Structure 1
Amino acid sequence: MKFIRLDEPGAEHPAVLATGKDGVERCYRLESLTPDIDGEFLAGGGIARTRAALEAGRLEEFPHAAGRRVGAPIARPASVVCIGMNYALHAAESGAEPPTVPVVFLKPSNTVVGPYDAAPIPPRSEKYDWEVELGIVIGRSASYLETLDDARACIAGFVAANDLSEREYQLPGAAGQWTKGKSLPSSTPLGPWLVPADELDAGRLRLRSWVNGEARQDSSTADLIFDPATIVHHCSQYMLLEPGDVILTGTPEGVALSGRFAYLTEGDVVEVEIEGLGRQRQEFFRAAPAREAVKA
């Protein structure tokens, strides 16, 4: 199953993609089960209820699904938690030693957008960067978990993500902060799908990214320093993870920060893909300063 949300921002409809016995993948509406794909749906056994409804043939097909906008596959989460430098080679290209404990920071949840939405480059940005990442979606509350098995039980599924980052705001000098570089509007494209955790081996997924069709990143989640269960367990010691929250697990080498590639400019097209979780595509444009936007 692949959970997906279709139609315009703020008016997305919950749906599921499923392959029938005839080998054909079809899209089905989920309004009979839930008003949205969110924390309440996940915590309330929504994945199991969807499986049962599909097996019983109780779901209505979604008409003309292929022509509709695809939103983020999870409704706006309460928290977007991020793990920094979770691939050794990316830590090296960032000029840092691989961490011995997870590096944790937060992104505002209002940065979450759909996987194909146009992406704004901040008006004065000169170092806007891409980062393909595996995203964990939390399915039940997690606080002070005792074991890795407890952590695994809290993972509802996985999504593809692009953690767009402004490096000039993030890193140099006394004013540089990860929060500043990671909080920009529309900087967290998610999707296109949410795949249940029990239908995917998240430990061996190929991650790739391209800029204007040229390969940039090509790695595997097998190279993660801290795997998903370890990340969820660790984060639960310091914060309450709630159903519907998203944790971005870090990016592999091959970003512009490495110095091997140019940063993003207006008109660039970025694609990111994770095996089993689909492919995103963003076309970048230069956002206007607020005063100019008002005049326009």
Structure 2
Amino acid sequence: MTQSLPRLRIGTRGSPLALWQAHAVREALVLRHGWPEEAVAIEVIRTSGDTITDRALALAGGKGLFTKEIEDALLDGRIDLAVHSAKDMATRLPDGLHIAGYLPRADVRDALILREGNSLDDLPPGARVGTASLRREAQLRRLRPDLQVSLLRGNVHTRLAKVENGTFDGTLLAYAGLSRLGLAGRASAVLDTDLFLPAVGQGAVAIECRAEDPPTNLLLAAVTDADTALAVSMERAFLAELDGSCRTPIAGLAQVTDDEISFRGMLLATDGSAAFETARRGPRAEAVRLGADAGREVRAAAPPGLIPT
């Protein structure tokens, strides 16, 4: 008997968290459409971001380093869809590709992981905190300018190990990622968004595919979450107005209720010495417009040089 080919091919990075996300999308498709599991294949694709681990993404090319090779495979037809952490996606996608939707969003907050203690206040002056995120670095420096903040790249397990072995006194990770890997108990504290605003798209799993592929888009529409799509679209509209990349510390969070959507956004100086905040609230149908308007407000308030050109 000839074995049939998979119905869909998912492209993903090979980290434990990326694979969790790809399997979650496969499970959603299989359950929704009544397929056998083998109808959806998972293809691991190594990206430049996985290869470059000795310097910050901002110095190596930005967020697209985690998506370029996967997007090339989409454009070439080697895969049918790609699964990413929404916060890793560039503001502007390659021509011919779009975000078809999102799985329901998980917890958006950042988790603090410490060798000792249970809060930022427990870190002694001069403590070493590692992070690969300019946003986290800037907010840390804003709250605790006495800390030594330096680069820490690698997957979740690598970063946890660097704290365990004493290379760093602490680090910050997305609480959603820890939870998805069964590591929620490793969080020393989960930081309230009023204190520590998350990255645009944090906690959301994005599904990218070719815009001119109606059959795949239709299949994906059945498993995507409308509220998550609305919230992240508002956040990305804010980011787009600031030309957001890994070179600029930007945070933003939209929250959807029955009738309206609210948003809070922030642009920071890398050293935490300045922050420009804004907020919006309005009808759901105005989400993208309000997000873009918030971005323009912050751009106008920011001094020359804060946003790279």
Please confirm whether the aligned pair reaches a TM-score higher than 0.5, indicating the same fold: no
Q: Which has the higher helix share?
A: 2
TM-score by length of 1: 0.29
Q: Whose RCO is larger (CA < 8 A, sep 6+)?
A: 1
The structure where strand makes up a greater share of residues is 1
Q: What is the TM-score when the length of structure 2 is the normalising length? A: 0.28
